[in-house]
Every structure is written in C-alpha cells, then in structure tokens.
Amino acid sequence: MEYEDRFRQNQRPKYDCLLFDLDDTLYPLSTGLAKACGQNIKDYMVEKLGIERSKINDLSNLLYKNYGTTMAGLRAIGYDFDYDEYHSFVHGRLPYENLKPDPVLRNLLLSLPYRKLIFTNSDKVHAVKALSRLGLEDCFEGIICFETLNHIHKSTVSDDEDDIEFVGGSDTTTKKDDSSFQIFDIIGHFAQPNPNTVLPKTPIICKPSENAIELALKIANLNPQRTLFFEDSVRNTQAGKRVGLHTVLVGTSQRIKGADYALESIHNLREAVPELWEDDIKSEIAYPGKLAVETSVTA
C-alpha cells in the first residue's frame, strides 16, 4: 500500500496543456456576440466589397462551410482587402458590454495546474478585449490568434516590446492587380457542379484546417497526445481529434464523434472532467500581470 501511494504521488498528469477556443467557448452563445459578428461580416461584404446584398446569405454560408471562416473564403475566391480593416469593421462594433466578469470561471481556470493557452481564429485585439471583459486576462500563458498563424509584413518597425516576428503563413500584404482581379463564382460552382473545376485555395490559415491546428501546436511546442482542446465548434473539435488532441465540445451535453467530453457550459468543467483536479497534482499555475499575446508561446 505504501508503494502504491508513493507511485500515485509520482505519477505524471495526463495532460501538459489545456488549449481553449475563445468565442462561444469561454462565454455563452447567448451573449449575442456571434450573431452581431455575423451581421457585421455581411455588412462588410456589401459596404466594402460591393457584393449584392441578395447574394450575401448564400455566399457567406458557402464560404464558411468550405473555408472555415468567411474571411478565408473571401480571399480564396478573389477578394482582396486589408486584414486589419476587416477585423476592425467586424469586431469593432460588437456588443462587448454583454461580456461580464466571470469569477466562477476565473477560479476554475486558476485552480487548474497546467499550461493554459487561447487558440482562436480572431485577431489579437478582439481576443485581448474579450478576455479583459471576462476578467480572464491573467489566466492564460498566451494567445494563438489570426496574426500568429498568418504572417503579416510590416513596413515600419514597432517599439512595442511585444512586437515580435510572427510564425507561420505567408506575407499577407494585399496588393490588387486590377488586370488579373477576378472573382470565382462559388455560388454557380455549387449550383451547377463541373468536375473539371476545383475550389480555389485560401492563403489564410485558420481552424478547422488540420494544418492550422498542427502549426499552432508547433508554435506552442505542444504534444497533441498530452493536450486537452476545448471548442464549441463540432468541426473544429473533430479536426483537433484527427490531429491527435484530446477534445472537449463546449455548449452541449451530448457527446459527438470526435469529442472525448461534452459540456453544456464551461462552468461544468469540474463535474465533467474531474481528473483534471487529481489529488496528487499539487502545483498551481497563474499568469499575473500583462497577458502575453502570441509571444511567449513561441519561446
């Protein structure tokens, strides 16, 4: 018995890191941010890209379904735009006031003795603002976001100490050549399928692409077999599972193929995954001070 107790105390925890999606995972869908974001994307397509409003619903659905995000799909089919402007338009008018401090979740996160990282398709400005509104800005080691996976060329050097060279992707400086600018008709492509026509690829790296998840793991130096991935998206969860991650689907108690666990709410974490709080794990990890944005995870 004494040997068994000593062995249990020296046993290595199952996970090294907890990887969390942000939107609709760390806060509920009922906040209305997702709905507002979707409308802002449609408004951007009309106001900035000149797309007919009558085509917006069909177009945005096809782009999201086939490319992971509408933004990635727009770039794939030929639209050229400034990424920062897009994110500013789409996220700048979100009802952030609907996000309230969540001390219950904060205490849960701080009680978990593992590395904790955010992995989101959104830009860093939105991620930091949302975490700040939730009171969770010091609960995570860092953020893997749009800028982390999509290298952005900068014409000027910043003095910001957190401004480092991002890892992954290609130069996303957008230059429109009007002579070759042509939009792929994705609506027509699916209305009248042609076996000789293939969907164009997107230059944007984002979930649910397995390449995006593998790149995020490489950047953060994570072993997928020892990482628990929290997501509200079924397809992102399943993509994570294919890459080798342990997965938690958040937002439903019904477990689907590709999810090891299912939580109605992130607040149910202790009840649904009690092994995260094993008695033999004594240490606690906190990240006081300024949140590290897609920087410390590259070290």
Condensed to tens digits (0 to 9), the pLDDT of residues 204-247 reads 999 999 999 999 999 999 999 999 999 999 999 999 999 999 99
- Cis peptide leading into residue 208 (ω within 30°): yes
Range 33-94: architecture per CATH: Orthogonal Bundle (1.10)
Residue 150, burial from CB neighbour count under 10 angstroms (0-12, 13-18, 19+): buried
Q: How confident is the model at residue 175 (pLDDT cuts 50, 70, 90)?
A: very low
* Strand-by-strand arrangement of the 227-231 sheet: 142-144, 115-119, 17-20, 227-231, 246-250, 261-263
Whether residue 82 is predicted with pLDDT greater than 80 in this model: the reply is yes
How confident is the prediction for the chain on average, in pLDDT?
Answer: 85
pTM score, whole prediction: 0.84
Whether residue 285 is predicted with pLDDT greater than 80 in this model: the reply is no
DSSP 41: H
pLDDT, tens digit, 9 for 90 and up, residues 87-125: 999 999 999 999 999 999 999 999 999 999 999 999 999
Location of each CATH 3.40.50.1000 domain in the chain: 13-28+100-151+202-298
Q: Does domain 13-28+100-151+202-298 have CATH number 3.40.50.720?
A: no
Give the model's pLDDT for residue 66. 96
Which whole number is the average pLDDT over 128-149? Answer: 97
* Residue whose structure tokens are 């992971």: 68
Location of each CATH 1.10.150.450 domain in the chain: 33-94
Lowest mean pLDDT among 83-92, 263-272, 273-282: 273-282
